[in-house]
Structure 1
Amino acid sequence: MSLINVTNLTFAYDGSYDNIFENASFQIDTDWKLGFTGRNGRGKTTFLNLLLGKYEYAGHISANVGFDYFPYPVQNKQNLTLDVIEDIFPDYQHWQLMRELSLLKVSEDVLYRPFDSLSNGEQTKVLLAALFLKENRFLLIDEPTNHLDMHARKLVSDYLKTKKGFILVSHDRAFLDNCVDHILSINKTGLEIQKGNFSDWWENKQRQDNFELAENDKLKKDIKRLSEASKRTGNWSHEVEKTKNGTRNSGSKVDKGYIGHKAAKMMKRSKSMEHRQQSAMEEKSKLLNNIESSESLKISQLAFHKSQLVELDHVSISYGDKMVCGDISFTIEQGDRIALSGKNGSGKSSIIKLICGEDLNYTGTFRKGSQLKISYVSQDTSRLQGNLSDYAADNGIEESLFKSILRKLDFSRVQFEKDISAYSGGQKKKVLIAKSLCEKVHLHIWDEPLNFIDVISRMQIEELLLEYSPTILFVEHDSEFCNQIATKIVEL
């Protein structure tokens, strides 16, 4: 066991006015299985890059271990997988590699295939196995779940559960809960560490947020009461002071000393109330700094003229001689929230393409309602570029609504001035989802919409789909999301 010490860490990107980290100090035990969470664009990957020494920063980071980053950058993907592993760790023992691959249910034959012929899931598992062969290294694992189906996620999560000495960035709640024992969270005001898994952290956060909201409400009432009382007492003091120059009703002279003493006493009481009011305001200012805004989203779907929107009856899809899926039968009725499930390569994206109108080679019966309007969210964000105003205009959506949804998904106004290509992976995905929520359609089709999206935004989207019950077909490997949302599951 050794410690990674972070002391007064301060960092901002060149040309940026805002610090991403400011005087952050904490310790990480290198034996921990550390989950790393926070909203998109807060600096999770930036912090991993600071540990790797990629940027200059103020403050100090000290560690007695070396760091390795996942996903490891493979320069030549045409090389055999065995050669890729040797590039990562030339001194590995073959039996140790086979032990790791066995735990990840990867067969030995993948070692003798070109790395780029492996599926995304196989590449993820091979790279993790190779990196965990090294000793005295602390792994920085950045969103390994994005290309894993549900089955592979469980497998990799179980694998990580047997390991220690890593930071894991993931927004998949079930994945984190299974394999971490501490949580590092980036909040609005900095970084903090708690013992436990994600659910423990989330429960503590909600408890703290609820306490602060109640305390804030109480202090608001106290401040208002003290302000009114102070004003009244000040007015009384002023009125009493005025009587010093008058006479009593009996005609006798007033006792100016007594009245002055009484006025001073009331003024002192007023000042005391003002002081208590100021203290209450200062106490109030310390609250709610880390409460995340998660305003509710809206979706207004068009009603279709028939209850059944789409029907597939014994549909099989082929590319050339290769059949990607066979004998698929299901219908999409109004109000259905259908999770299209299955391992990677089972044909989920092909089914989506067929419904969206791509000209694919298929057999069986496929019917789609005439004039059916569909909004599609793609897995791919690589082509996104330009500014948000132009993007809204090009896609025929209302700019103010589009930006309002992005604000609710935790976009700061400064993000609106940037080129979309400079956004984080999660922010790009939010652009696609916000666009989809603006479109007037009968059916939403979302293909892995939650890749890179932070947990709080996932919960907002869950609440949206449960409240408005739109007709939606989606592919998503976040088991928690599927369990909450799906009214039907179509297993391929």
Structure 2
Amino acid sequence: MILLQVQQVARYFGADTLFENVSLDVSDNSRIALVGRNGVGKSTLLKMIIGNESPDAGQITKKKGLTIGYLAQNTGLESDKTIYAEMLSVFERLQIMEKNLHEMEAKIADPGADHSSSEYSQLLNQYDQLLHDFKEQNGYGYEAEVRSVLHGFHFEQEDYDRKISSLSGGQKTRLALAKLLLEQRDLLILDEPTNHLDIDTLTWLEGYVQNYKGALLIVSHDRYFLDRIVNEVYEISHHHSSYYKGNYSAYIDQKAERLRQDWKNYEKQQAEISKLEDFVNKNLVRASTTKRAQSRRKQLEKMERLERPEGDEKGPHFKFTADSQSGNIVLTVKDAAIGYDGHIISSPINIDLRKNQVMAIVGPNGIGKSTLLKSVLGQIPFVKGSSEFGTNVKVGYYDQEQHNLHDKKNVLNELWDDHPTTPEKDIRSILGSFLFIGDDVSKVVHNLSGGEKARLLLTKLAMKHDNFLILDEPTNHLDIDSKEVLENAVMDFNGTVLFVSHDRYFINKVATCVLEIAPQGSTLYLGDYDYYLEKKAEQEEIAAAKSTAETPIENSSKEVSTGKVNYQQGKERQKQERKLKRSVEEFEQLVEKLDAQKNDLENQMSSPENYNDLEKMGELQAKLQEISKKLAEAEENWEQASMELEEFLA
């Protein structure tokens, strides 16, 4: 069922066009990503959809009664209530129902009630109906749902009584998203929902959103998140929209193929135009061929000329190159401890980084990933342990806090002062490859946006030609196009890279190994991010099985045998749990599929061309009855499987 349609919508600023002819369809089960470079109008389109702005052309139609939840960028929840009270306010209707149920129960249990009266019978019927509605709307589970969502966003029971007004901006943003998820609107619109979330929270959010019952429309620079969630992509580029079926990676592949085909068609047309123009120029003045030349000229005039592909999509283009080679051993860290004022955050940390490796450092917020980089660079001393660079290692550092820039310099001098012997035209050319064009080079650093400062830092880094790059959150502030260029630059680099990033797509694309930092120290995984997750899951499964197998430490063979039995039982329990979860997922998918078929048949039956066709209506009615029967069976099986899983986990 269509919930919302954006039809040929446009936004103009005087004579300038932000976008036009933008169309977008949202169905009740949609999982849509809206992508495009910074400034193309994605947030503007979202504001039109929610009704905060009106389009200059076109229209937006919505299903009657459609409920929309919207999270703008960096929007925090403002409230005078406590965290728990604010989340419970979402379920005010259920709380009223619960109160009414208790009042009815008191009347039913009243010793003086006349059980034979019609009023008492009516009370019982009302109670049964209200109890049924309460159960159907998760009346007995909503508080557990609140606790689960708060836990996912790192709010534990000791936080529940904290006033929201006392929280930080990042905490308020997380609570705003938590409340939206609990509200379960028909359409959830999220503008950069992954900002300020660590990897653990992102992983939880992905799992939760994958099972969201409503439709989703998401704007995000987190490509890994989009890959896991969406199955449709709308891109705004060249001032209009394009549609792609599939997740983000599928969109990239389809876009590349579409671009290849566009170039092929463009070049074919250009060759044809050149041939026609050549014929006209040579034959227009010759009496014997002038009519054919005039015909060709008319053909040229009527031809609908294709635009040159890409056009304003041109992004930054650069690469990192090392002007000298390091030794095979690039960095060694031995039994190090990181922290502040003698307080250890993580220990022991060991690194043996070799030439041409690309190592990603991951771990929860606050574990000291950036601190580790600064300790390696000598900016912050290790609490204990040491690090050492290898032979002929030249280090380039990208600082996420952007302290390596001078606020009062302009863009040109920021680079030229570091390389005074390089001609100005070469400096301008290099800056141009990072999208600093024309008057942009005269901008004062202090006035640059976060994205512009990030590109300027990358420009400075590329100009140094070091053979060992240490990068602290290099994708922060970059749009998707710039991230992709950075990925290619890192993958093609003829040196070694050590980096910290929350961008899982970036880690997956460039890392050859992953170093996880935890309070207990470091663990090395020799693969990309997906490999790291896979191995982590295996380790957790083994640890859970071993925990199940733990017994009192005795030397009797009987208890050793019991330990083995418990270990095997633990493995069998995990196997059974996975089987039950798969069963629930399969039945849920079947219910969704049959429900969609039922809706389609109902739409066909309400269509004017079928309404007066008795034979057609009879066929549709028979199909509807069959689908409805299958749907009821599937729902019953899904409920049974869900109950079995709940009982198993209890």
Range class of TM-score, shorter chain: 0.7 to 0.9
Counterparts of residues 415-434 of structure 1 (less than 5 Å)? 425-434=450-459
CA contact (8 A) 1:293 1:408 kept: no
Match of 2:468 among 436, 443, 453: 443
Greater shift in the superposed pair: 209-218 or 373-382? 373-382
Greater shift in the superposed pair: 373-382 or 414-423? 414-423
- Alpha-carbon deviation of 1:352? 0.8
- Alpha-carbon deviation of 1:187? 0.9
Whole-angstrom CA distance in 2 between matches of 1:411 and 1:20: 21
Q: SS of the counterpart of 1:446? A: strand
> Could you say if the C-alpha distance between residues 204 and 369 of structure 1 is closer, same or farther in structure 2, counting changes exceeding 3 Å?
closer
Give the structure with the higher percent helix.
Answer: 2
Whole-angstrom CA distance in 2 between matches of 1:87 and 1:416: 52
Stretches of structure 2 lacking an aligned partner (at least 5 in a row): 95-141, 518-650
Counterparts of residues 359-438 of structure 1 (less than 5 Å)? 359-368=380-389, 373-380=394-401, 387-392=410-415, 404=429, 407-408=432-433, 425-438=450-463
> Could you say if the C-alpha distance between residues 389 and 138 of structure 1 is closer, same or farther in structure 2, counting changes exceeding 3 Å?
farther
Whole-angstrom CA distance in 2 between matches of 1:488 and 1:77: 44
> Could you say if the C-alpha distance between residues 432 and 31 of structure 1 is closer, same or farther in structure 2, counting changes exceeding 3 Å?
farther
- Alpha-carbon deviation of 1:133? 2.0
> Could you say if the C-alpha distance between residues 440 and 205 of structure 1 is closer, same or farther in structure 2, counting changes exceeding 3 Å?
closer
> Could you say if the C-alpha distance between residues 30 and 19 of structure 1 is closer, same or farther in structure 2, counting changes exceeding 3 Å?
farther
Question: How high is the sequence identity, in percent, across the aligned residues?
Answer: 25
- Alpha-carbon deviation of 1:461? 1.8
Structure-2 residue corresponding to 1:456: 481
- Residue type of the alignment partner of 2:202: R
- Alpha-carbon deviation of 1:334? 3.6
Task: List per-residue Cα deviations over 1:366-404 (Å, max 9, x = no partner).
Answer: 224699653322333699966533543566687766654
> Could you say if the C-alpha distance between residues 341 and 470 of structure 1 is closer, same or farther in structure 2, counting changes exceeding 3 Å?
same
Match of 1:353 among 359, 374, 380: 374
The count of corresponding residues between Structure 1 and Structure 2 is 460
Whole-angstrom CA distance in 1 between matches of 2:335 and 2:80: 38
CA contact (8 A) 2:33 2:234 kept: yes
Structure-2 residue corresponding to 1:48: 46
- Alpha-carbon deviation of 1:306? 4.5
Structure-2 residue corresponding to 1:179: 229
Structure-2 residue corresponding to 1:246: none
> Could you say if the C-alpha distance between residues 50 and 462 of structure 1 is closer, same or farther in structure 2, counting changes exceeding 3 Å?
same
- Alpha-carbon deviation of 1:186? 1.4
Whole-angstrom CA distance in 2 between matches of 1:61 and 1:55: 11
Higher relative contact order (CA 8 A, sep 6+): 1
Structure-1 residue corresponding to 2:493: 468
CA contact (8 A) 1:74 1:84 kept: no
Counterparts of residues 73-222 of structure 1 (less than 5 Å)? 73-74=75-76, 81-82=83-84, 85=87, 94-101=143-150, 107-112=156-161, 126-136=175-185, 138-163=187-212, 164-222=214-272
- Alpha-carbon deviation of 1:5? 3.4
CA contact (8 A) 2:88 2:146 kept: no
Whole-angstrom CA distance in 2 between matches of 1:414 and 1:88: 51
CA contact (8 A) 1:293 1:410 kept: no
CA contact (8 A) 2:339 2:383 kept: yes
Structure-2 residue corresponding to 1:2: 3
CA contact (8 A) 1:375 1:436 kept: yes
Q: SS of the counterpart of 1:184? A: strand
Greater shift in the superposed pair: 150-159 or 383-392? 383-392
Q: SS of the counterpart of 2:306? A: helix
RMSD across aligned positions (CA): 4.0
- Alpha-carbon deviation of 1:209? 0.8
Stretches of structure 1 lacking an aligned partner (at least 5 in a row): 238-262
- Alpha-carbon deviation of 1:358? 1.2
Q: SS of the counterpart of 1:145? A: coil
- Residue type of the alignment partner of 1:301: A
Q: SS of the counterpart of 1:39? A: coil
Match of 2:278 among 223, 228, 241: 228
- Alpha-carbon deviation of 1:179? 0.7
- Residue type of the alignment partner of 1:169: V
Greater shift in the superposed pair: 408-417 or 28-37? 408-417
Greater shift in the superposed pair: 307-316 or 377-386? 377-386
CA contact (8 A) 1:110 1:118 kept: no
- Alpha-carbon deviation of 1:328? 0.8
- Alpha-carbon deviation of 1:185? 1.1
Task: List per-residue Cα deviations over 1:278-336 (Å, max 9, x = no partner).
Answer: 455x4333x51568435742223242664444321110012235311111111344433
Whole-angstrom CA distance in 2 between matches of 1:86 and 1:432: 46
Whole-angstrom CA distance in 1 between matches of 2:89 and 2:460: 42
- Alpha-carbon deviation of 1:6? 5.2
Match of 2:36 among 38, 52, 60: 38
Task: List per-residue Cα deviations over 1:425-457 (Å, max 9, x = no partner).
Answer: 544433332332223434221112113433333
- Residue type of the alignment partner of 1:201: Y
Match of 1:490 among 507, 515, 536: 515
Q: SS of the counterpart of 2:251? A: helix
CA contact (8 A) 1:68 1:137 kept: no
Match of 1:274 among 256, 279, 297: 297
Whole-angstrom CA distance in 1 between matches of 2:158 and 2:73: 22
Whole-angstrom CA distance in 2 between matches of 1:391 and 1:75: 39
- Alpha-carbon deviation of 1:267? 0.2
- Alpha-carbon deviation of 1:137? 6.1
CA contact (8 A) 1:106 1:125 kept: no
Whole-angstrom CA distance in 2 between matches of 1:406 and 1:42: 23
- Alpha-carbon deviation of 1:94? 3.5
Larger Rg: 2
Structure-2 residue corresponding to 1:248: none
Q: SS of the counterpart of 1:273? A: helix
Q: SS of the counterpart of 1:283? A: coil
Task: List per-residue Cα deviations over 1:252-282 (Å, max 9, x = no partner).
Answer: xxxxxxxxxxx2x5101112223334455x4
Whole-angstrom CA distance in 1 between matches of 2:273 and 2:202: 51
- The TM-score with structure 1 as length reference comes to 0.78
- Alpha-carbon deviation of 1:210? 0.8
